[in-house]
Amino acid sequence: MSSEHISDHLRQRVKDRANGLCEYCQSPDKYSIASFHCDHIMPKKESGKTEFANLAFACPSCNTHKYTKTVAPDPQTREKVPLFNPRSQNWKEHFQWSNDFILILGKTSIGRATVKALNMNKDKHIESRKLLKNAGKHPPT
Ligand SMILES: [Zn+2]
């Protein structure tokens, strides 16, 4: 959802907690022309609050694809599962990089569903990761 009504102070805290990385696709805000958003993990539409515990730092792409979704089908089983929650779950438990660090692979049903729903391996992500990798700025540490 949009980051309107989020104070600069709160936004900065959310960004700092995330080390300036999208909490879904791990892309760095630092090298993005478009400003990152504060995603409402539980959407405002479903009474999610604009508070530190319900916000995730998200690139415009992940934020837009997530929109008001909280569940999505696991592409392997077609079963609907919750999307990855950066506040209560660990990225490395649900995702891993491909051997060349260009693709994000879902390790669990939640990971697979989130990669697909948020389109975390779209062409622009791939091109950006290749550039950052060549510049020694990817994968993030
Ligand atoms: Zn992202």
Q: How does pLDDT run across 39-89, given as a tens digit for each residue?
A: 999 999 999 999 999 999 999 999 999 999 999 999 999 999 999 999 999
139 domain residue, yes or no: no
76 domain residue, yes or no: yes
Q: How far apart are CA 84 and CA 109, in angstroms?
A: 10
Q: Which domain holds residue 47?
A: 8-134
Overall domain count for the chain: 1
Distance 60 CA to ligand 1 centre (A): 7
**Per-residue pLDDT tens for 120-135?**
999 999 999 999 999 9
68 domain residue, yes or no: yes
Structure tokens at 32: 């993005």
pTM for this model (two decimals): 0.94
Read off the DSSP letter of residue 28: B
> What's the longest Cα–Cα distance across the chain?
43
Distance 24 CA to ligand 1 centre (A): 5
74 domain residue, yes or no: yes
19 domain residue, yes or no: yes
pLDDT at position 5 is 80
